[in-house]
Amino acid sequence: MKKTVKKIQKYKPENKKIAALTAYDFYTAKYLDMAGIDLILVGDSAANVVLGYDSTTRITVDEMLIFTSAVARGTKEALVVADMPFMSYNVSVEQGLLNAAKFIARGADAVKIEGGSEYTFELVKRLTQSGIPVLAHLGFTPQYINTIGGNYIQGKDFDTTIQILNAAKNLEKAGAFAIVLELMPKEASKFISEKLNMPTIGIGAGSGCDGQILVINDLIGKFDEFSPKFARKYFDSKAMIIDCAKKYITDVQNGNFPNDEESFKLDDEELKNLENYK
């Protein structure tokens, strides 16, 4: 049965943890869905782990729409959330509404936006009033990396934790159905989680959140440019891919691929005709 925003919100009072992962293509989404994942985020992390950009700020709306369409087609039960890329919602509320609508039209169930400014509160309110659910995102916000100055942990003291909490409360009031908390001390994220009615989904924010999310390429060991402390690797895809490719190269060079069973054959009569041709 399809997981909706309302179902995801019920996890918190039921003390059930939300399990979320990113995906960027049809088959990964299909397999995560088969595994029973609750939420699939079509993350702007595709900029790094799929397209090879050096920053998430490089990816465009058009590129994200392609990934969103593929993931939506591969998903039957999980809630699909599309990441709104850098500057796709910052110019005006109207711009944000129009771009968010594109993602919903491509099959997303909700969109994710970063930040906790007065403008963001207004945008979240307008989006939810227009029928577009919003997953908020506070703590470390990658789209603001140039102003933050790097991948720095957020909420490291009382004052900044309270600032994040107040922003989260305003996002909740504006209509966000849940919030991602990224790169925060576990005590700070737990404190914030306990003060909110909406569920929190942590990434590098400890176990006190109401759920967790990881980038699928980190989970399966497919991305080797950077390995965050919080990203647990369950499989080494890189080693597997290299090993398979090496075996394939050897088999091709030795004439062991393709073998007889992997080849198509002519009928005996047609083969005889070829053999008798002069």
Give the mean pLDDT of 80-89: 98
Give the mean pLDDT of 78-95: 97
Residues in the chain: 278
Q: From residue 18, give the alpha-carbon distance in Å to each of 28, 38, 73, 227.
A: 19, 6, 22, 23
Give the mean pLDDT of 190-206: 98
Kindly report the number of other CB atoms within 10 A of residue 164's CB atom.
22
Sign of CA dihedral 115, 119, 123, 125: positive
Query: In this structure, are strands 79-83 and 18-22 parallel, antiparallel, or unpaired?
Result: unpaired
Q: What per-residue string of b and e applies to 165-190 under the rule 16 or more CB within 10 Å gives b?
A: bebbbbbbebbbbbbbbbbbbeebbb
Question: pLDDT grade, residue 129 (50/70/90)?
Answer: very high
| Mean pLDDT, the chain, integer | 96
Task: State how far the Cα of 159 lies from the Cα of 165, in Å rounded to an integer.
Answer: 10
Question: How buried is 214 (Cβ within 10 angstroms: 0-12 exposed, 13-18 middle, 19+ buried)?
Answer: buried
Give the mean pLDDT of 47-60: 96
At residue 144, the pLDDT reads: 87
Write out the catalytic residue numbers.
Answer: 182
At residue 16, the pLDDT reads: 98
Question: pLDDT grade, residue 147 (50/70/90)?
Answer: confident
108: DSSP letter: -
Give the mean pLDDT of 214-239: 92
The residue assigned the tokens 């392609």 is: 66
Give the mean pLDDT of 46-53: 96
Q: Report the amino acid identity of residue 97.
A: L
Question: pLDDT grade, residue 196 (50/70/90)?
Answer: very high
At residue 165, the pLDDT reads: 98
pLDDT tops 80 at residue 96: yes
Write the pLDDT tens digit of every residue in 159-184.
999 999 999 999 999 999 999 999 99
Give the mean pLDDT of 42-62: 97
Stronger pLDDT, 226 or 143, i.e. the higher one:
143
At residue 146, the pLDDT reads: 84
Question: pLDDT grade, residue 272 (50/70/90)?
Answer: very high
The residue assigned the tokens 């989006």 is: 127
Residues 6 or more apart whose Cβ sits within 8 Å of residue 42: 22, 23, 24, 64, 67, 68, 71, 80, 81, 82, 83, 108
Question: Over the Cα atoms of the chain, what is R_g?
Answer: 23
Pick from 181, 203, 204, 177: nearest CA to 191: 181
At residue 265, the pLDDT reads: 95
Give the mean pLDDT of 63-76: 98
What pTM did the predictor assign? Answer: 0.95
- HEC secondary structure over 191-202: HHHHHCCCCEEE
At residue 104, the pLDDT reads: 98
pLDDT tops 80 at residue 226: no
pLDDT tops 90 at residue 66: yes
Give the mean pLDDT of 115-135: 98
At residue 194, the pLDDT reads: 98
pLDDT tops 90 at residue 151: no
Question: pLDDT grade, residue 199 (50/70/90)?
Answer: very high
